[in-house]
Amino acid sequence: MRMVERLRSQGIADEKVLAVMSALPRHVFVEEAFASRAYDDDALPINFGQTISSPWTVGRMSELLRANSDLDKVLEIGTGCGYQTAVLAQLAREVYSLERVGLLLTRTRIRLKELQVNNVYLKHTDGMHGLAEAGPFDGIIMTAATVHVPPFLLEQLVVGGRMVYPKGSVEQRLCVIERHPQSYNETILETVNFVPILSGVVRK
């Protein structure tokens, strides 16, 4: 509850997002050595050169994606430890989540099953290709930084849908791209810090 009150004081205003994060045990998603810091406002390492985003980052990206509307299908690029995935699962009817590191995905699959998260579909693949066969999506969320979003990925959004992602390399900013009938509109927001997006698939 202290974490949620801190998020509210930091400007996270979507009460549905805050309720989901209040009910979800974040310590389950971090390495045992960092369990005592699970509810601090910090990103923490989760092995394989990846991190679990800070609670503020998860809350902010979730409320930007939801935009005070119910979500049908969401695509997540970068499953990681599954914390953001589990939050999205309570905000959308279906979540499709892509992860390039096989062993990390295996661990996350077990964790989500133990938490009885049943509306998430995980796939071991290069996330930058998206998942056109399951689309189109109301929202796409990317949990690693990139300087460029491929047009074919944006085409997997429904008209009226939005993509939330960290843009940049050295200096990163949170961005929202909204799809309109004939165009896309990008809004650049707060400074953030993510690991860079990587291509390819790691089998182990």
| Distance separating alpha carbons of residues 13 and 71, to the nearest angstrom | 17
**Tens-place pLDDT, residues 57-106:** 999 999 999 999 999 999 999 999 999 999 999 999 999 999 999 999 99
Contact indicator for 42, 57 with CB cutoff of 8 Å: no
Reduced to 3 states (helix: H, G, I; strand: E, B; else coil), residue 62 is: helix
- Domain 2-192 matching CATH 3.40.50.150: the answer reads yes
pLDDT: is 38 or 185 the higher one?
Answer: 185
Domain ranges within the chain, ordered by starting residue: 2-192
Q: What is the pLDDT of residue 199?
A: 77
pLDDT: is 136 or 31 the higher one?
Answer: 136
Which position among 53, 54, 169, 183 bears the catalytic label?
53
List all residues 6 or more positions away from 13 whose beta carbon is below 8 Å from its beta carbon.
63
Our answer to whether residue 53 is catalytic in this structure is yes
pLDDT score of 13 more than 70: yes
